[in-house]
């Protein structure tokens, strides 16, 4: 194996599916002691400084049981870091799927995805442009595609 390239990791990312976004925002506002950094229809994000965490919530009112994990991720500093992590994953035998210049969660991002044996999805991503306005193009938040794979929009 090649020597790993140092990657500038910013923080962990967890995305939750929630039944009621307003109730979840209220809970996490109290739990974390901070206001959300982004709220859109069906979506909210808390940018936690300590511990470093990007906590996102996607409203899924049809959930029949308790809230469910949507996906997890590692936010990095640059597209170069995304590509370096993807290369490391590939060299270790993992199958990756890229989404570059994709609008997801009201931000333009470059990302690569892998999944674990139980189907849990992980992404490595960089935010290129944040806080996009609420439009049809930017509203497709990280959910799953028809095939069950994570999807945050159409790759460019």
pLDDT the model gives residue 55: 92
Contact 17, 70 (CB under 8 A): yes
CA 1 – CA 22 distance, rounded (Å): 47
| Residues 5-61 pLDDT 10s | 788 888 999 999 888 899 999 989 998 889 999 999 999 999 999 889 999 999 988
Higher pLDDT, 135 or 156: 135
- Residue with the bigger pLDDT between 39 and 67: it is 39
**Confidence tier at 112 by pLDDT (50, 70, 90):** very high
pLDDT on residue 56: 94
Q: What is the pLDDT of residues 68-78, one digit of tens each?
A: 788 888 999 99
Q: Spell out the domain ranges in the chain.
A: 9-143
- CATH of range 9-143; options 3.40.50.2300, 1.10.260.30, 3.30.1490.190, 3.10.180.10: 3.10.180.10
CB within 8 A of 73, min separation 6: which ones?
A: 12, 13, 14, 15, 54, 111, 122, 123, 124, 125
**pLDDT for the residue 146:** 35
| Higher-scoring residue by pLDDT: 156, 49 | 49
Q: Could you tell me the pTM of the whole model?
A: 0.69
The pLDDT of 118-122, averaged and rounded, is: 81
């Amino acid at each position: 194996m090649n020597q790993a390239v140092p990657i500038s990791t910013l923080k962990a990312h967890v995305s939750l599916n929630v039944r009621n976004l307003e109730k979840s925002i209220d809970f996490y506002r109290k739990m974390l002691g901070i206001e959300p950094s982004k709220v859109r229809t069906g979506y909210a994000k808390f940018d936690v400084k300590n511990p470093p965490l990007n906590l996102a919530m996607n409203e899924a009112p049809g959930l029949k049981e308790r809230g469910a994990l949507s996906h997890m991720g590692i936010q990095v500093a640059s597209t170069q870091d995304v590509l370096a992590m993807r290369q490391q994953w590939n060299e270790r035998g993992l199958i990756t799927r890229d989404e570059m210049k994709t609008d997801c969660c009201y931000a333009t991002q470059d990302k690569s995805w892998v999944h674990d044996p139980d189907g849990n999805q992980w992404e490595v991503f960089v935010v290129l442009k944040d806080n996009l306005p609420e439009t049809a193009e930017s509203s497709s938040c990280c959910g799953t595609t028809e095939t069950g794979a994570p999807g945050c929009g159409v790759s460019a």
